[in-house]
Chains A and B, each alone.
Chain A
């Protein structure tokens, strides 16, 4: 900080110590996982904290092929991409309707959607499962896509409604005078203007879907998604920690790559969503 006085500098130093400890506590598990993923099981048992002296990729190969993570990976990608696209489509269109159109019981509908945000998933698991069975969606990817969409939709709709409520009404009115039908207003005006909120939602929902175990375990019983597959690597009595670590690194990699690619949009998306842009 330029021009900071001596006292201020000392205060900054003191404040930086707990921050450094916090940062370390976040980074260490990542280091632990990568480090152990490179060890053999024997090396891990001998010294679980040391650095990997003889690094090996055997764990990754074993996790990817023999533990079927490659199949589970495809399932996760298909389900996550499908659910996120469906979520963005539905939440953008319903956010537009709730924020900008006038129809009877609009407020009541919004209140019901908000109320459903308050219900924990565990409470509705049994009726949810019975519904999935009745619709013959068990063990189908489309079933899981629909389930994710259903569970994460209230928050997405809430966020898009709030975002669209902040846009000036005149934009829609101008488009209507320009001859755009409602579907065209949504496609040409609301969708591009909703970009910052949609990117934020896309990231959040990707994380939720990718990391979910509970819903996936219920719906996709035979095929498994990546997170369920990794959970299955833990044995009841013994666990091959290097193998589990390798699986975790593989599972986290796509999200990290996604973040690296979209870093600027994610940060600006959060900022633009917060302050009127």
Chain B
């Protein structure tokens, strides 16, 4: 049985529809990541699950029970906020035990659970401090500790790492992944950072403008996107989209050359399609050559990125082994047609 199930969830703020008919089921123990550009409704969807926002339509089931109209506290969830939302006037220990004190649990049980969570998150030394005396990473751990203490069925994370610096973010990301392995709870995590999504998730839900674009395992989304939006959103730098015209059968004219791509269905001659190739697929050992003029080359040490244009004037980004190309010179890119993804004029995948 799925842990969380959303059935046709709608959410409207005044006349603005933020979530359009969202249906989704999340399995027990799964680490699900909601990802999408800002304003896509991913945080709203999380808040709807938490019970902090009422739905305009649809139903929410948690562990098989209809929780659509239940109070947040009765849903068996814990949430970690982007701003941490620690109570500034309480010590770390009081922050962590707040939920248990509200539930009037016995004192020895509270002390035991706080001690256990503090140990998991290495907060033992900090229990008497106030949030203002902690660093960003420590505050984040306290916020997670406050969630763990309550033994929730489901953890909700709302962009928990956005306020941390880059190095700490990587470190906390690993800690959250470890935590999920250790506790095995269902976790839902909201982020706009695709690296976080790809590294943490068992399953990614890509949202755009209040609609689910695709749900799948990280590598499935990367290798087999349903549409141009998902293809462009997952992967960094983003996929190159070139204009192509079908020449009949599986042949396409693109960037001044002709390519035959391995797709199952033929495309009618003269049809305009989008021809997608990821930057990292331009360094193939054999395949089709494409010439580009590199305007700027970013040297990252282990690899380099070429930014430039092809003969049709279309912008293109390619990832190459370092040191092979110079700025201002012609570079020959080589790609395997098997790595090409085609999309129709509406952005839907042509397989």
A residues near B, CB below 8 A?
168, 170-171, 173-180, 184, 188-189, 192-193, 195
Closest to B158 in A: A170
Cα A179 to Cα B86 in complex, Å, equals: 15
Residues on B with C-beta less than 8 A from A179 are 73, 99, 102-103
- The answer, yes or no, to whether B148 is at the interface (CB within 8 Å) is no
Q: Which of A175, A179, A189 has the most CB of B within 10 A?
A: A179
Query: Is B222 interfacial (CB 8 A cutoff)?
Result: no
Please give, as numbers and ranges, the residues of chain A lying within 8 Å of B86 by CB-CB distance.
Answer: 174
Identify which of B74-82, B203-211, B291-299 touches chain A: B74-82
Give CA–CA (A27, B102) in the complex, Å: 53
Cα separation A38 to B272 with both chains bound (whole Å): 102
Whether A176 pairs with B85 at a CB distance below 8 angstroms is: no
A-B contacts, 28 of them at CB < 8 A, read: A168-B83, A168-B85, A170-B82, A171-B85, A173-B81, A173-B85, A174-B79, A174-B81, A174-B146, A175-B87, A175-B98, A176-B52, A176-B71, A176-B72, A176-B73, A177-B51, A177-B52, A177-B73, A177-B78, A178-B98, A178-B102, A178-B146, A179-B73, A180-B73, A180-B98, A188-B87, A188-B98, A195-B89
Q: Which residues of B contact A188 (CB under 8 A)?
A: 87, 98, 102
- The distance in angstroms between the C-alpha atoms of A177 and B76, with both chains bound, is 9
Report yes or no: B87 in contact with A177, Cβ–Cβ below 8 A: no
Write out the residue numbers on chain A whose beta carbons fall within 8 Å of the beta carbon of B103: 179
Give chain B residues whose Cβ lies under 8 Å from the Cβ of A177.
50-52, 72-73, 77-79, 99
**Separation of A188 and B98 alpha carbons in the complex (Å):** 9
Q: Which residues of chain B have C-beta atoms less than 8 A from A184's C-beta?
A: 102
Nearest-Cβ distance from residue B162 to partner chain A, whole angstroms: 13
Interface residues of B in 52-75 (CB under 8 A from A): 52, 71-73
**A193 partner, pick from B79, B88, B102, B146, beta carbons under 8 A:** B88
> Does B150 have its Cβ within 8 Å of any Cβ on chain A?
yes
Closest chain A CB from B81 CB (angstroms): 5
In the bound complex, residues from chain A placing their C-beta under 8 Å from that of B89 are 192-193, 195
A128 to B261, CA, bound (A): 87
* Of A168, A173, A178, the contact of B52 (CB 8 Å cutoff): A173
Q: Report the Cα distance A176→B81, complex, angstroms.
A: 13
Chain A nearest Cβ from B148, distance in angstroms: 13
Closest Cβ neighbor of B50 among chain A residues:
A177
Q: Does A170 lie within 8 Å of B102, measured CB to CB?
A: no
Q: Is the CB of B73 within 8 A of A189?
A: no
CB-based contact B81/A170 at 8 Å: yes
Task: Tell whether A171 pairs with B73 under 8 Å between CB atoms, given A177-B78, A178-B98, A178-B102.
Answer: no
> Which A residue sits closest to B71, measured CB to CB?
A176
The distance in angstroms between the C-alpha atoms of A180 and B78, with both chains bound, is: 13
Q: Other than the known A174-B79, A193-B89, what 12 A-B pairs have Cβ atoms closer than 8 Å? A: A170-B82, A171-B85, A173-B85, A174-B81, A176-B71, A177-B50, A177-B52, A178-B73, A178-B98, A180-B73, A193-B87, A195-B89
A189 touches B87 (CB 8 A): yes
Q: Which residues of A contact B72 (CB under 8 A)?
A: 173, 176-177
Out of B52, B87, B102, B150, name the residue touching A171 (CB < 8 Å). B87
What are the 9 closest A-B residue pairs judged by CB atoms, nearest first? A170-B85, A178-B99, A179-B73, A174-B85, A179-B102, A192-B89, A170-B81, A177-B72, A180-B102
Look across to chain B and name the residue whose beta carbon is closest to the beta carbon of A170.
Answer: B85
Contacts of A173 in B (CB 8 A): 50, 52, 72, 79, 81, 85
- Chain A residue nearest to B53 in the complex (CB): A173
Which among A168, A176, A177, A180 has the greatest number of chain B C-beta atoms within 10 A? A177
Interface contact B150-A178, CB-CB below 8 Å: yes
Set of chain A residues within 8 Å of B85, measured between Cβ atoms: 168, 170-171, 173-174
Alpha-carbon separation in the docked complex, A259 to B237 (Å):
63
Q: Note all chain A residues with C-beta closer than 8 A to B52.
A: 173, 176-177
Question: Closest CB of chain A to B120's CB: distance in Å?
Answer: 19
Q: List chain B residues, Cβ under 8 A from A189.
A: 87
A176 to B99 alpha-carbon distance, docked (Å): 9
CA distance A153 to B218 in the complex (A): 57
A177 to B72 Cα, complex, angstroms = 5
